[in-house]
């Protein structure tokens, strides 16, 4: 999608270039894109949502095959605009700009330049002089909360990147090869950014990193995320703080205690478990298994009242046999997650698992993926039926995407973009406001309710 300024008091300025950004990938990549937009606007360039702009930046994702395909298609679309004379400059940013720079340069000659993750602070320089050779940082640059940033999410929502890079040994993941090792922001920097967001009216801040639970290890902090959340509790911040991308092996009793006692941190854990069979998890370089995970989830639910748990799994990892998948299915039935995502295994160059080949055929991967999603649909529907009659605090987002006759919002157990919604068919609240909503209907992913009071 094209990201344009909807926030931070945007107004047109006289500029040397009209620039559009095609934003792809995860929220972590989104923050990088917003940082680049902030630099460009500060330098006097005009931001546009029109791909016929003079310059177009495609902020790519290079995580799995489907994301790479989407990124390449977006680049080719802009390359066609350039060939027809409707765009003057094509810049590729993000993960693929670092991981596949030479291949892209060779196959798509319309590309004028690259802004890899190690050169985000030089976005203006590389846009204005795309052929310039620059020395790229050995690690990905991390937004510091002080540099100009154009927040492209709705005014009530913002993502806050607390760390970059990853030290985990997952054999299937290429991220460390182009995002580098863990690099955490100082707590004071994060607290200052959260205070600024709260002052601007942001109601929900989502803390993100490749592994949020590893936060602060490189700074010498023990239980760094727990310490950060405790500090957030005592300082100005948006009223809702949500945590994504928590590594299950790094959950500590102290972290669970802090979340459970917090008035700001939502009772929500995103734990990408990836599988449940010990043999597959060992091959993934992660460890653990169904029994261990069930105990962890039980402890978390006891420590955090009303906890919602989201997870993701990979089907078709090399060596996954029918009995391994049956273990995963049984685990999903017993764990009863609130939300679940599934990816079919993607063999990635530069990973340890690459040498294992790709022995599970594509149809089997997809069939297992669909089976897990169907199983979770029944569980999610049952979980939602249990919410009928309850009154939930809902952050109202505005008119429903499908019809203006309904409002939509999210409750604490629903993260933006990836989980369901609360559809409001009676009552009114302004976008960005909190409302008390009584749940009247349950669907597999969404709830329906009415504003009370």
Does the model's pTM come out above 0.85?
yes
In the predicted model, is pLDDT for residue 3 greater than 60? Answer: no
Q: What are phi and psi of 279, to 5 degrees?
A: -65, -45
Domain membership of residue 309 (yes or no) is yes
Q: Would you say residue 96 lies in a domain?
A: yes
Q: How many domains does the chain have?
A: 3
Cα–Cα distance, 430 to 247 (Å, whole number)? 36
> Taking 90 as the threshold, does the pLDDT of residue 118 lie above it?
no
Tokens for 120?
């985000």
How sure is the predictor about 372, in pLDDT bands with cuts at 50, 70 and 90? very high
Domain end residue (candidates: 385, 415, 440): 385
What pLDDT, on the 0 to 100 scale, is given for residue 6? 31
Do 235 and 357 share a domain, yes or no? Answer: yes
- Report the residue count for the chain: 453
In a domain, 133, yes or no: no
Q: Is residue 135 a part of any domain in this protein?
A: no
With cut-offs at 50, 70 and 90, classify the pLDDT of residue 239: very high
Residue 123 CA to its chain's centroid (Å): 22
Residues 202 and 338 both lie in one domain? yes
Residue 287 domain-assigned (yes or no): yes
pLDDT at 2 over 50: no
Most confident of 33-37, 284-288, 330-334, 425-429: 330-334
pLDDT in tens, 323-347: 999 999 999 999 999 999 999 999 9
Q: Are residues 396 and 376 in the same domain?
A: no
Shared domain for 359 and 222, answered yes or no, is yes
Rounded mean pLDDT, 60-74: 84
pLDDT for 136: 61
Do 379 and 402 reside in the same domain of the chain?
Answer: no
CB count, 10 Å around CB of 354? 15
Q: In terms of residue numbers, what domain contains 276?
A: 157-385
381 and 401 belong to one structural domain: no
Kindly tell me if the per-residue pLDDT of 142 is higher than 60: yes
pLDDT digits (tens, 9 = 90+) for 155-179: 999 999 999 988 888 999 888 877 8
Over residues 283-310, the mean pLDDT reads: 95
CATH of the domain at 293: 3.80.30.20
Rounded CA separation 309/266 (Å): 11
Question: Could you read off the pLDDT of 435-450 as tens digits, one per residue?
Answer: 999 999 999 999 999 9
d(CA 199, CA 209) in angstroms, rounded, equals 23
- When pLDDT is cut at 50, 70 and 90, the band that residue 430 belongs to is very high
CATH of the domain at 14: 3.40.50.12160
Q: Is residue 274 part of a domain?
A: yes
Residue 14: is its pLDDT beyond 50? no
Residue 61 pLDDT level (bands cut at 50, 70, 90): confident
CB 178 within 8 A of CB 133: no
Burial class (CB in 10 A: 0-12, 13-18, 19+), 78: buried
Query: Which pLDDT belongs to residue 139?
Result: 60
CA pair distance 112, 117, nearest whole angstrom: 17
Tell me what pLDDT residue 135 has: 61
pLDDT of 383 above 90: yes
pLDDT at 138: 55
The domain that holds 427 is classified in CATH as 2.40.50.140
Per-residue H/E/C for 35-103: HHHHHHHHCCCEEECCCCCCEEEEEECCCCHHHHHHHHHHHHHHHHHHHCCCCCEEEEEEHHHHHCHHH
Same-domain check for residues 313 and 398 = no
């Amino acid at each position: 999608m094209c990201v344009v300024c909807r926030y931070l008091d945007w107004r047109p300025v006289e500029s040397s270039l009209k620039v559009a950004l095609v934003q792809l990938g995860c929220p972590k990549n989104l923050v990088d894109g917003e940082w680049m937009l902030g630099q460009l606007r500060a330098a006097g360039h005009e931001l546009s949502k029109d791909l016929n702009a003079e310059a177009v930046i495609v902020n790519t994702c290079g995580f799995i095959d489907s994301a790479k395909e989407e990124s390449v298609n977006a680049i080719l679309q802009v390359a066609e605009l350039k060939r027809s004379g409707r765009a003057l400059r094509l810049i590729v940013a993000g993960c693929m700009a670092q991981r596949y720079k030479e291949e892209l340069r060779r196959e798509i000659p319309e590309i004028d330049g690259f802004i890899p993750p190690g050169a985000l602070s030089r976005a203006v320089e590389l846009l204005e002089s795309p052929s310039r050779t620059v020395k790229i940082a050995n690690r990905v640059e991390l937004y510091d909360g002080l540099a100009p940033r154009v927040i492209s999410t709705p005014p009530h929502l913002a993502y806050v990147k607390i760390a970059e890079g990853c030290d985990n040994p997952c054999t299937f993941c290429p991220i460390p090869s182009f995002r580098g090792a863990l690099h955490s922001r100082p707590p004071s920097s994060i607290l200052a950014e959260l205070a600024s967001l709260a002052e601007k009216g942001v109601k929900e801040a989502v803390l993100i990193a490749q592994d949020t639970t590893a936060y602060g290890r490189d700074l010498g902090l023990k239980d760094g995320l727990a310490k950060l959340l405790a500090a957030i509790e005592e300082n100005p911040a948006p009223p809702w703080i949500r945590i994504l991308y928590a590594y299950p092996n790094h959950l500590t009793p102290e972290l669970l205690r802090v979340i459970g006692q917090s008035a700001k941190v939502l009772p929500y854990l995103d734990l990408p478990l990836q599988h449940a069979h010990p043999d597959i998890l060992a091959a993934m370089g992660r460890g653990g298994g169904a029994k261990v995970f069930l105990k962890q989830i039980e402890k978390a639910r006891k420590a955090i009242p009303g906890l919602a748990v989201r997870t993701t799994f990979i089907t078709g990892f090399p060596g996954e046999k029918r009995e391994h998948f049956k273990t995963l299915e049984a685990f999903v039935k017993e764990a009863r997650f609130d939300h679940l995502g599934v990816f079919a295994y993607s063999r990635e160059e530069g990973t340890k698992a690459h040498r294992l080949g790709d022995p599970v055929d594509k149809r089997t991967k997809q069939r297992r993926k669909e089976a897990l999603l169907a199983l979770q649909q029944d569980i999610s529907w049952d979980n939602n039926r249990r919410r009928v009659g309850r009154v939930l605090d809902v952050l109202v987002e505005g008119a429903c995407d499908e019809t203006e006759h309904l409002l939509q919002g999210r409750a604490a157990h629903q993260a933006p973009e990836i989980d369901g919604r609360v559809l409001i068919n009676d009552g009114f609240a302004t976008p960005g406001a909190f409302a008390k909503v009584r749940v009247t209907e349950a669907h597999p992913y969404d709830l329906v309710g009415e504003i009370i009071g």
